[in-house]
Amino acid sequence: MTDGIGARVARKEDKRFITGKGKYTDDIRMENQAYAAFVRSPHASAKVTGIDASAAEAMEGVIAVHTGPELKADGIGDIITGWAITSKDGNPMQCGVWNPMVTEFARYVGDAVAIVVAESQDLARRAAEKVSVSYDELPATVFADHALETDAHQVHENVPGNLIFNWEIGDEEKTDAAMSGAHHVTQIDITNNRLSPNAMEPRSAVAVYDEAEDHYTLYTTSQNPHVARLVLSAFYQVAPEHKLRVIAPDVGGGFGSKIYIYPEEIACLWASMKTGRSVKWTSDRSEAFMTDAHGRDHVTTAKMGFDADGKIVGFHVDTIANIGAYVSLFATATPTYLYGTLWSGTYDIPAIYGTVRAVHTNTVPVDAYRGAGRPEATYMIERMMETAAREMGMDPAELRRRNFVKEFPYQTQVLLQYDSGDYDALLDMAQDAANVSGFAARKAEAAGRGKLRGIGYSTFVEACGLAPSAAAGSLGAGVGLWESAEVRVNPVGTVEVLTGCHSHGQGHETTFAQLVADRFGLPIDSVSIVHGDTDKVQFGMGTYGSRSGPVGMSAVMKALDKVEIKAKQIAAHVLEASEVDIVIEGGEAKVAGTDKTMGWHEVGLAAYTAHNLPEGMEPGLKETSFFDPVNFSFPSGALICEVEVDPDTGVTEIVQFTAADDFGTIINPMIVEGQVHGGITQGIGQALHEGVVYDDSGQLLTGSYMDYQMPRAADVPSYTVSHGCTPSPNNPLGLKGCGEAGAIGAPPAVINAIIDAIGTDNLQMPATPQAVWTALQSAKMPMAAE
Amino acid sequence: MYETKYHKAASVQDAVAALSGASEGAVLAGGQTLLPTMKQHLASPSDLVDVRGIAGMQGVTVGDGTITIGAATRHADVAGNADVKAHIPGLAALAGGIGDPAVRSMGTIGGSVANNDPAADYPAAVLGLGATVVTDRREIAADDFFEGMFSTALDDGEIITAIRFPVPTRAAYAKFPNPASRYAMVGVFVAETGGNVRVAVTGAGEDGVFRHDGMESALASDFSVASAAGATTSQEGVLNDMHASAAYRAHLVNVMAERAVSKAG
Ligand SMILES: Cc1cc2nc3c(=O)[nH]c(=O)nc-3n(C[C@H](O)[C@H](O)[C@H](O)COP(=O)(O)OP(=O)(O)OC[C@H]3O[C@@H](n4cnc5c(N)ncnc54)[C@H](O)[C@@H]3O)c2cc1C
């Protein structure tokens, strides 16, 4: 079966992407289309005392200028968060109110103050400059570790001391006891740098109000159009769900940043109704830096206790998470249930306890970004292992092996139960591929060239396939986390799969089709995947958290099961055989052991002509399924990075990068490798290059690519990627998910390699040349050379 | 972008006339700096006078001990020019290290020098080689031309037509790129011409490109990597920003000087 499960099939969607024929939101042009631009606060913290739009309104071609108070007066609701967190004292979290446009206080640079609608984009932007807003500037709170100080400006009236929640997980008493009895305790103080998502396609929205039908259509850059429609209807009161269609056409990357429903989409829908025009807004790159939800931004102190054999006895974590000015859709889940629940890492840790304090600051909201919480957990644990190994004089790989979880299922001390894995096998595989035994010689050779060579490890486990619904609901989730699929066999035998997932780079049009190809022996060209339109597709939860495989494909498999049963019944009836003797393969239904066959297209035709169906059978061949797994899936991996540092300049070159991952079953190895490559590169970006910088007053200093460095092709080596496989027992295909693995596992491998090279762990991300050079200067006494 | 009027000048006189007739005219060369600034509404010239079509402002001429490069010559053409490569290879290499291929195919030497970005590469070569900036009305020595960040000795409406470089005995440029922008975070051009050593530093100075006197005298007495390493670089007047502290930049000045000296041979 050339197009089936496990085949390295080229991506069907790439023809249109590579030839520039993709259809993105900004490519959509409606009749009667007008353009929106936003007037944005230049201050991180200010009270708006007046808005004078008369000069803008007087410009020819300007249709309307509307402000936050008008939007509120029209009954448009405040932006919500989807996951309620309870503080350790039992109190519910306290979130600042997020009006889609400022009603009184602007709380970050870029906060939308007014929307301008005009005949052209350029005109809208020029008019926006003419809207004169008076501000009373207020002090700003910018940094996570300052937000809780008594002198910090309070960002929201209803959030005392800027503390949104103080969440805990694990057993404090048991952990304290374990730590006090430890033979050795290692402490690390680390930050997880704030990142800007930088999807290649910036956010965009086209809002179309049809007055005659009192109906709205929103074309937008969304990872989850149904969720967008749900919140726009139920919470923002734009229109009831049946009067609102959300379409997410081709979307050029999301990385989490396009999960959320932002102020701009809401304002465009509302402005379309107000003006009677279709309203388009497309973010430019400067707006993207200013307003796309950022990722990460943690400050953490962690302590790990070991016994005399290097076995972990306890782990204690204290994190402050910067949530920004407002609490975005997944912002509360990311630093809690997607972070604290992963603190056991790949290790058997008998006692864990920690707290996460989430704080408001005068910065853009922070939410899930590729990996979402799990990179933060992995970075902390894996830096801990490196530092602990150095302090105890142990080999860092050996320390890991000594503590690996070895038996599955494994119940951690922080809620999760790992279903399957073989961490030793992955580390073996990675060490072999990285030729670790030759490292000493490579290091010596590099020293001869004046370079410091280092090797760094990272082993990780993550929870993917966001689910199950009931468990998520009991922990505060506002939505279910199942997925849906409909499989339609057409009368000619071609197949359409409608999925509630959304592809924005993942290659679903290929991999989902492979499932059908595999099941019925059809070429993938006769299968099409339909997604991204709430009028076409049944409700679904969208794509994030590496869930499309484990959850979305599982729904497809269940629907395929139903189709297969009915198809066999039809074939048995037509071929006058028993249902149990029918096999479907190679595009045919056959009676096993005979030469009686009928083509797959004939099965389809029989279903729809309905001339000769079994007694009582409904015509047609189309089935729907919803899949809600019993547990997360748990991909894992071992990554090894080798770097060379130039001590004169602090420049780090990644000279070798090896990953051995366990994603369970693999549908398309080429696409999986692509996901791993992209993820590792993003992880390298976080480790070496990327970092959002605000100054003390909350001005964004990294507002363009002149100051925010993305990883470039020349910054990374060719990766060596291999796979182990322990199938997940919790879904029909044994899938675990691969979308985030690289971004989760890579940063600590890179940083640990630099630490190994320069002999000090006094280093934070991003390890820019300046940071590494400074660390080298501060390392008065280099670690003993090996 | 605000509305602007576009002129394509056929000659230098043409361009000068168009500029003087405009309320707020600007020379347009490669547009690599000017156009993004206009798109961001940070500049709004009433008129753009495009000088790329002026034949006299294009290309490389070899003179008696000099190389003259027309102001509208693109970076890629300087990088690939056989005469520049033969006589001042360090200059060709510098041009080949500016930005990326798209930028090098559009950006010009005149635009870069007129703009005098404190992180631009060309100013280091112009000052380091002691070149002469030729305009529509006069000649300006490099030492008198660069007057601080984004500021030069050019008068309003004055057009650079060419840059004339003396051919050095040896010269080279070493650049430490800003990790994000790839402009020079520190760039050092060293040149020995007729027994005279000049060292110009770009990317590091609060007032833009500057000559490094201490480094010049160290290299004048001994043109070696060791004396480049030994020269003292003061942190005074050295840029301090989120990408690099003054201490780090000052350190890189020495490292880049060592590398430039080593390349110059
Ligand atoms: C992505 C990117 C990366 C870059 N990287 C680098 C780099 O690494 N190093 C580097 O040095 N530069 C870099 N640059 C800048 C590039 O070198 C530009 O070419 C240069 O800044 C301006 O040259 P231009 O011909 O494009 O001038 P323009 O943008 O057309 O003009 C710039 C200014 O000079 C004036 N001007 C132009 N020509 C003349 C003239 N003949 N006489 C008088 N005034 C004139 C214009 O009026 C304007 O004010 C980069 C630019 C970009 C977009």
CA atoms within 13 A on the CB side of B101: 0
pLDDT digits (tens, 9 = 90+) for B31-46: 999 999 999 889 999 9
Give the global pTM.
0.96
- With CA atoms as reference, report the closest residue to A729 among A627, A634, A625: A634
> Where does a domain end: A582, A603, A627?
A627
pLDDT digits (tens, 9 = 90+) for A505-543: 999 999 999 999 999 999 999 999 999 999 999 999 999
- Tokens 């007053």 belong to A697
- CA angle, corner A532, sides to A527 and A533, nearest 5? 105
CA separation for the pair A375, A545 (Å, rounded): 12
Q: Is A337 helix (H, G, I), strand (E, B) or coil?
A: coil
Give the domain extent around B44. 1-49
pLDDT for A474 = 85
Lowest mean pLDDT among A198-207, A465-474, A549-558: A465-474
pLDDT for A784 = 41
Indicate the Cα dihedral angle B207, B212, B214, B215, nearest 10°: 150
Residue A149 is assigned to a structural domain of this protein: no
Instruction: Using the predicted structure, report yes or no on whether residue A783 has a pLDDT greater than 50.
Output: no
Within A19-165, where are the H helices?
Answer: 54-57, 68-73, 121-130, 144-147
Burial (Cβ within 10 Å: 0-12, 13-18, ≥19) of residue B194? exposed
Ligand 1 mean position, distance from CA B104 (Å) = 10
Percent of chain A surpassing pLDDT 90? 96
User: Could you tell me if A735 and A770 lie in one domain?
Assistant: yes
Residue A188 is assigned to a structural domain of this protein: no
Q: What's the Rg (C-alpha) of chain B?
A: 18
Locate the chain A residue with the closest alpha carbon to B41.
A126
Q: Residue A148: what are its φ and ψ, rounded to 5°?
A: -90, -5
Residue A164 is assigned to a structural domain of this protein: no
User: Could you tell me if A592 and A687 lie in one domain?
Assistant: no
pLDDT digits (tens, 9 = 90+) for A369-381: 999 999 999 999 9
> Where does a domain end: A577, A600, A627?
A627
User: Could you tell me if A83 and A106 lie in one domain?
Assistant: yes
Burial (Cβ within 10 Å: 0-12, 13-18, ≥19) of residue B165? buried
Instruction: Using the predicted structure, report yes or no on whether residue B125 has a pLDDT greater than 80.
Output: yes
CB distance from B243 to chain A under 8 Å?
yes
Q: Is A601 helix (H, G, I), strand (E, B) or coil?
A: helix
Contacts with B, A 594-653, CB within 8 Å: 648-650
Indicate the Cα dihedral angle A141, A147, A152, A153, nearest 10°: 50
Locate the chain A residue with the closest alpha carbon to B249.
A770
Partners of B255 on chain A (C-beta within 8 Å) are: 648-649
Ligand 1 mean position, distance from CA B211 (Å) = 22
Locate the chain A residue with the closest alpha carbon to B3.
A122
pLDDT digits (tens, 9 = 90+) for A665-675: 999 999 999 99
Total tally of structural domains belonging to chain A: 3
Residue B179 is assigned to a structural domain of this protein: yes
User: Could you tell me if A564 and A620 lie in one domain?
Assistant: yes
Contact A707 B251 (CB under 8 A): no
Asked if A637 and A659 count as a contact pair (C-beta separation under 8 A), the reply is yes
> Where does a domain end: B33, B49, B65?
B49
Give the contacts of A120 (CB within 8 A, at least 6 positions apart). Answer: A35, A61
CA separation for the pair A416, B240 (Å, rounded): 47
User: Could you tell me if A245 and A134 lie in one domain?
Assistant: yes
User: CA dist B7 to A9, B12, B21, B27, B30, Å?
Assistant: 53, 13, 11, 10, 14
Q: Which atom of ligand 1 is nearest to the CA of B28?
A: 30
SS in 3 state form for chain B? CCCCEEEECCCHHHHHHHHHHCCCEEEECCCCCHHHHHHCCCCCCCEEEECCCCHHHCCEEECCCEEEEECCCEHHHHHHCHHHHHHCHHHHHHHHCCCCHHHHCCCEHHHHHHHCCCCCCHHHHHHHCCCEEEECCCEEEHHHHEEECCEECCCCCCCEEEEEEECCCEEEEEEEECCCCCCEEEEEEEEEECCEEEEEEECCECCCCEECHHHHHHHHHCCCHHHHHHCCCCCCCECCCCCCCHHHHHHHHHHHHHHHHHHHC
CB distance from A18 to chain B under 8 Å?
no
Residue B20 is assigned to a structural domain of this protein: yes
CB distance from A40 to chain B under 8 Å?
no
Which of B1, B4, B46, B108 to mutate for ligand 1's pocket (most ligand atoms within 8 Å of CB)? B108
> Where does a domain end: B49, B67, B83?
B49
User: CA dist A600 to A10, A517, A563, A609, Å?
Assistant: 24, 12, 12, 14
Within A24-171, where are the H helices?
Answer: 54-57, 68-73, 121-130, 144-147
User: Could you tell me if A609 and A692 lie in one domain?
Assistant: no
User: Could you tell me if A31 and A134 lie in one domain?
Assistant: yes
Give the domain extent around A575. 482-627
CA separation for the pair B145, B104 (Å, rounded): 24
pLDDT digits (tens, 9 = 90+) for B219-264: 999 999 999 999 999 999 999 999 999 999 999 999 999 999 999 9
Query: Mean pLDDT, to the nearest integer, of B154-161?
Result: 97
Beta-ladder partners of A499: A485
Q: For residue A437, give the DSSP letter.
A: G
Residue B227 is assigned to a structural domain of this protein: yes
Contact A770 B180 (CB under 8 A): no
User: Could you tell me if A459 and A355 lie in one domain?
Assistant: yes
Residue type, A4: G
Partners of B176 on chain A (C-beta within 8 Å) are: 649, 769
Ligand 1 mean position, distance from CA B6 (Å) = 18
Query: What are the structure tokens assigned to A365, written together?
Result: 């909201």
CB distance from A693 to chain B under 8 Å?
yes
Residue B104 is assigned to a structural domain of this protein: no
CA separation for the pair B136, A676 (Å, rounded): 57
CB distance from A699 to chain B under 8 Å?
no
> A436 CA to chain B: closest CA distance, Å?
30
The CATH code of the domain that includes B257 is: 3.30.390.50
> A347 CA to chain B: closest CA distance, Å?
36
User: Could you tell me if A746 and A723 lie in one domain?
Assistant: yes
Contact B255 A706 (CB under 8 A): no
Asked if A754 and A652 count as a contact pair (C-beta separation under 8 A), the reply is yes
Asked if A294 and A690 count as a contact pair (C-beta separation under 8 A), the reply is no
pLDDT for A780 = 58
CA nearest ligand 1 atom 6, residue: B99
- CA angle, corner A400, sides to A720 and A440, nearest 5? 55
For an interface test with B, which of A648, A651, A652 has the most B Cβ atoms less than 10 Å from its Cβ?
A: A648
CA separation for the pair A538, A549 (Å, rounded): 18
Number of neighbouring beta carbons within 10 Å of residue A602: 17
Residue A1 is assigned to a structural domain of this protein: no
> Where does a domain end: A596, A627, A658?
A627
Residue B151 is assigned to a structural domain of this protein: no
The beta-carbon neighbor of A649 closest among B2, B40, B176 is B176
The CATH code of the domain that includes A249 is: 3.90.1170.50
- Tokens 């997980």 belong to A169
Residue A26 is assigned to a structural domain of this protein: yes
Beta-sheet strands, E only, within A603-635: 622-627
Q: Which atom of ligand 1 is nearest to the CA of B120?
A: 11
The DSSP string of A575-599 is: HTS-GGGEEEETTEEEETTSS-EEE
Residue A477 is assigned to a structural domain of this protein: no
CB distance from B40 to chain A under 8 Å?
yes
Total tally of structural domains belonging to chain B: 2
Q: What does the mean pLDDT of chain B come to?
A: 97
> B42 CA to chain A: closest CA distance, Å?
12
User: Could you tell me if A437 and A487 lie in one domain?
Assistant: no
- With CA atoms as reference, report the closest residue to A555 among A484, A491, A494, A482: A484
Query: Mean pLDDT, to the nearest integer, of A394-411?
Result: 97
Q: Which atom of ligand 1 is nearest to the CA of B121?
A: 11
Show the ligand 1 pocket: residues with CB < 6 angstroms: B 26-34, 51, 71, 98-99, 103, 106-108, 110-112, 114-115, 117, 120-122, 159-160, 182-183
Q: What does the mean pLDDT of chain A come to?
A: 96
Partners of A774 on chain B (C-beta within 8 Å) are: 245, 248
CA separation for the pair B254, B250 (Å, rounded): 7
Beta-ladder partners of A626: A484
Q: For residue A456, give the DSSP letter.
A: E
User: Could you tell me if A583 and A525 lie in one domain?
Assistant: yes
CA nearest ligand 1 atom 43, residue: B159
Query: Mean pLDDT, to the nearest integer, of A43-49?
Result: 98
CB distance from A696 to chain B under 8 Å?
no
The DSSP string of A158-173 is: TSGGGEEEEEEEE-HH
Asked if A653 and A480 count as a contact pair (C-beta separation under 8 A), the reply is no
Q: Is A282 helix (H, G, I), strand (E, B) or coil?
A: strand
Instruction: Using the predicted structure, report yes or no on whether residue A385 has a pLDDT greater than 80.
Output: yes
Asked if A668 and A514 count as a contact pair (C-beta separation under 8 A), the reply is yes
Partners of B251 on chain A (C-beta within 8 Å) are: 773
CB distance from B248 to chain A under 8 Å?
yes
Residue B117 is assigned to a structural domain of this protein: no
A509-546 burial, b at 16+ Cβ within 10 Å, e below that, comes to bbbbbbbbbbbbbbebebbbbebbbbeebbbbbbbbbb
The CATH code of the domain that includes A562 is: 3.30.365.10
CB distance from A720 to chain B under 8 Å?
no
- With CA atoms as reference, report the closest residue to A556 among A604, A599, A602, A519: A519
**Bond prior to A409 in cis (omega within 30° of 0):** yes
Ligand 1 mean position, distance from CA A781 (Å) = 46
pLDDT digits (tens, 9 = 90+) for A711-748: 999 999 999 999 999 999 999 999 999 999 999 999 99
Q: Which atom of ligand 1 is nearest to the CA of B71?
A: 41
Q: Across the beta sheet with A622-627, what order do the strands follow?
A: A527-530, A495-499, A483-489, A622-627
The CATH code of the domain that includes B8 is: 3.30.43.10
Query: Mean pLDDT, to the nearest integer, of B107-118?
Result: 98
pLDDT for A785 = 40
The DSSP string of A174-201 is: HHHHHHHT-SEEEEEEEEE--B----SS
Residue A95 is assigned to a structural domain of this protein: yes
Beta-ladder partners of A591: A582
Query: Mean pLDDT, to the nearest integer, of A108-120?
Result: 98
Query: Mean pLDDT, to the nearest integer, of A266-290?
Result: 97
> A177 CA to chain B: closest CA distance, Å?
43
> B245 CA to chain A: closest CA distance, Å?
8
> A705 CA to chain B: closest CA distance, Å?
6
Among positive and negative, which fits the CA dihedral A148, A151, A155, A158?
positive
Residue type, B121: D
Q: Which atom of ligand 1 is nearest to the CA of B123?
A: 11
Locate the chain A residue with the closest alpha carbon to B258.
A648
User: Could you tell me if A616 and A684 lie in one domain?
Assistant: no
User: CA dist B237 to A3, B206, B209, B228, Å?
Assistant: 65, 5, 11, 20
Ligand 1 mean position, distance from CA A751 (Å) = 37
